[in-house]
Amino acid sequence: MWLSTARTCHVARGGHKRALLMTFLLMMALGVAGSWGCWGERGSCDLWAGKLSAGQEATVAVKQLADSHCVAQRGLLLAHLGDQDLGSDVLAALVALGRSPEAEQAVVAALGKPETVVVAAQQVAAWKLAAAEDP
């Protein structure tokens, strides 16, 4: 009887050690995955605003700011309206974020650019912007 009890305790202790080891490994894996930004990081307005400011993945950042509905970043987007490669994307993002002084300013400015004049004119009509109609 003592022998069977000893075996049971030995197995139980070994199982406990394995459980501790597995828990430790799981916690380490979660820590590493968290440091890589697997949860919640990609949709962060601050993350994409920082990338746009730094010029990293700028086109993706503009789209993500619009998709994540980052209305607090309208000013940052407007500052990039004149960028050669981003102008039409910035205009689309500001319009997607809804009517605001920044979006109206972007639409009016876009009327003077051949690559965005059609989209801007459609938005002027949709929003009935009087300022854009005055010479």
Share of the chain above pLDDT 70, in %: 74
Q: Domain total for the chain?
A: 2
* Structure confidence at residue 26 (pLDDT): 74
The predicted-structure confidence for 102-120, as pLDDT tens digits, reads as follows 999 999 999 999 999 999 9
**Enclosing domain of residue 1:** 1-39
Phi and psi for 44 in degrees, rounded to 5?
-75, 130
Q: Within this chain, do residues 113 and 66 fall inside the same structural domain, yes or no?
A: yes
Q: Within this chain, do residues 31 and 76 fall inside the same structural domain, yes or no?
A: no
Q: Within this chain, do residues 62 and 5 fall inside the same structural domain, yes or no?
A: no
pTM metric for this prediction: 0.66
In sign, the C-alpha dihedral spanning 118, 124, 130, 131 is negative
Q: Is the distance from CB of 72 to CB of 94 less than 8 angstroms? A: no
The predicted-structure confidence for 14-30, as pLDDT tens digits, reads as follows 567 777 777 777 777 66
Q: Within this chain, do residues 62 and 91 fall inside the same structural domain, yes or no?
A: yes
